[in-house]
Amino acid sequence: MFPDPHRHSVKICGITQPQQAAEIFALGADAVGINLWPKSKRYMPLSIALSALQDVSAHHTLVAVLVNPDQTLLDATVKSGLFRALQLHGDETPLDVERLMERGAHVIKALQVRDAASLMQIGDYPCSSILLDAYNPETYGGGGHAFPWELAVRAKELYPDKQILLSGGLTPNNVRLAVQQTQSVAVDVASGVESQPGIKDLAQVARFIAEARSGWMAT
């Protein structure tokens, strides 16, 4: 399961080169996100993921990143058996999440955070895992912008039964401070460790993972 409730976790999201998945896991990542949204700069078609990542998925955690998927894509993703979690970044409703959970899917609902009022929607969703990302009306994540981390702390206080994942504007330079301040169960990064969209800089990935783990250990 991702995130593991008993262990702080790092997810590297949005690879476009399938071979990077194994390289990223070798560096110590807990999960790799595969973006199945065609409009994303980090899009990987499900057919490519199925043909190239079967061996990786047998030993590691892949997370499907979806944005308002149609029923055909959703069914194919669930039935593929490739992913251990579905991360929903669109306008999916609590009922959508509930229906996926009834199918046995582990769901992470991503929510954009603009202010404290944005946190109130967390309680509407039945899934235990909530990813907090920066508010951006023009995209559904991956924009490289941060939000005030004290709102993630507040989310934990308001919803102690939820697992709060932190995303948005994280880099190797700030992730240590981020996890020290928020004590999120996991961190999720895309643009902050890239040489270009969808192409991960493995040196930055390694540094990001090390800095995150150092931050958790220091608290």
User: What pLDDT band is residue 149 in, cutting at 50, 70 and 90?
Assistant: very high
DSSP letter for each residue of 141-175? S-S-----THHHHHHHHH-TTSEEEE-SS--TTTH
**Averaged pLDDT, 174-180:** 97
Tell me the per-residue pLDDT of 61-117, one tens digit each, with 9 for 90 and over.
999 999 999 999 999 999 999 999 999 999 999 999 999 999 999 999 999 998 999
Residue 4 lies in a domain: no
Residue 152 lies in a domain: yes
Residue 88 lies in a domain: yes
Q: Which structural domain range is residue 103 located in?
A: 9-217
Tell me the per-residue pLDDT of 7-38, one tens digit each, with 9 for 90 and over.
999 999 999 999 999 999 999 999 999 999 99
Residue 3 lies in a domain: no
| Closest to 49 in 3D by CA, of 81, 92, 12, 9 | 81
Residue tagged active-site, from 30, 96, 133, 188? 133
Q: How far apart are CA 18 and CA 181, in angstroms?
A: 33
User: What pLDDT band is residue 136 in, cutting at 50, 70 and 90?
Assistant: confident
94 preceded by a cis bond (ω within 30 of 0) = no
Residue 66 lies in a domain: yes
138: Cβ contacts below 8 Å, ≥ 6 apart: none
127 catalytic residue (yes or no): no
13 catalytic residue (yes or no): yes
Residue 192 lies in a domain: yes
Residue 98 lies in a domain: yes
Residue 1 lies in a domain: no
Quote the number of domains for the chain. Answer: 1
Task: Give me the pLDDT at residue 49, please.
Answer: 98
User: What pLDDT band is residue 143 in, cutting at 50, 70 and 90?
Assistant: low
CATH code for the domain in which residue 201 is found? 3.20.20.70
Residue tagged active-site, from 13, 96, 127, 188? 13
Q: Where are the beta strands (DSSP E) in the chain?
A: 9-13, 31-35, 61-66, 85-88, 107-113, 129-134, 163-166, 186-189, 194-196, 199-200
Do the beta carbons of residue 170 and residue 182 sit within 8 Å?
A: no
